[in-house]
Amino acid sequence: MRVRSARRLSAGSFVPLLLIAANVFADAAARAEVQIGLCAPADHIVHALDARPRGRPIDVWQFDDAALTLAARGVRLRLRVTEGGRSELTLKVADQDCKRLDASLLRRGEGKCEYDAYGAGMTRTVSLTRRLNAKSTSDLLAGRERVQQVLSPSQIGYLREVRGIWPLPPGVGRLGPMRVQLYRTPDGRHDIDISELPGGERYAEISGKGQAADVDRLRQEMMGAVTRAGVEVCADQSSQAVNKLRALQK
């Protein structure tokens, strides 16, 4: 089974991020995650990159309405169900100014602001995570609670004060689950995330983390690794997240 169908993209097809980095990374010590979508059979990706599983597969749910209103506003709500039925509910908000954020909006241990580089694009993203116990997780997934009811005060405050989205649109509900297996390359530098949707469609990406000032180098390093391994890179690097949401609606 192929992960996605797409024309092959070479390393040179990416727009270099060097000029972007020169303008954006005044705070060069900030953390960044570089992600590259892969369009090849999952088994081939794992074998070609000699990747090893990290833990067991987990179920991941997304939350949005039929019009994908949250995604259109740069907002994602994601629930990762962990061992014992517990979960992590994460709010991600794109296009934020990490340097000018009010520190009170990012409670210690709950929030962070970092750079996400996907293909030739880059955005500064705020993440706020609330850990839910098994009962709260079960209630949310069974429909006894709505996602609005289990968000943390910090998450609600950020949606209201910064993004201007509160209350949430009335039709926001759960989408999924995706079954996600994480792998790691032998050198420990890169993770490979393979997500299988309920309809059997698979998405894969390779990612690596480092300092924001090193984004261009990290991206070229990852592109070199997948190219040498003969793994096909997706031609469209801009819409994997939205494509997943649309596929989950089917």
The reported pLDDT for the residue numbered 15 is: 40
Domain assignment present for 5: no
Domain that holds residue 103: 11-248
- Average pLDDT for 107-127: 85
pLDDT at 118: 86
Is residue 74 one of the residues assigned to a domain?
yes
**Total number of domains in the chain:** 1
Bridge partners for 174 per DSSP: 63
Indicate which CATH number applies to the domain containing 70: 2.40.320.10
| 2: in domain | no
Q: What whole-number distance in Å separates Cα of residue 9 and Cα of residue 13?
A: 6
Q: Tell me, yes or no, whether 48 lies in a domain.
A: yes
The string of pLDDT tens digits covering residues 14-50 is 444 333 333 343 455 688 999 999 999 999 999 999 9
Measured from the Cβ of residue 32, the count of other Cβ atoms closer than 10 Å reads 25
Q: Are 45 and 192 in contact (CB under 8 A)?
A: yes
Does residue 156 lie within any of the structural domains? yes
Beta bridge partners of 203: 195
134: its two tokens: 């098994």
**Residue 3 forms part of a structural domain:** no
Residue 32 located in a structural domain: yes
Max avg pLDDT among 5-14, 177-186, 207-216: 177-186
- Assess if residue 38 is contained within a domain: yes
Dihedral sign, Cα of residue 35, residue 36, residue 39, residue 40: negative
Element (H, E) at 126: strand 121-132
Q: What is the pTM of this model?
A: 0.87
> What pLDDT was estimated at residue 2?
46
| Digit-coded pLDDT (tens) for 126-169 | 999 999 999 999 999 999 999 999 999 999 999 999 999 999 99
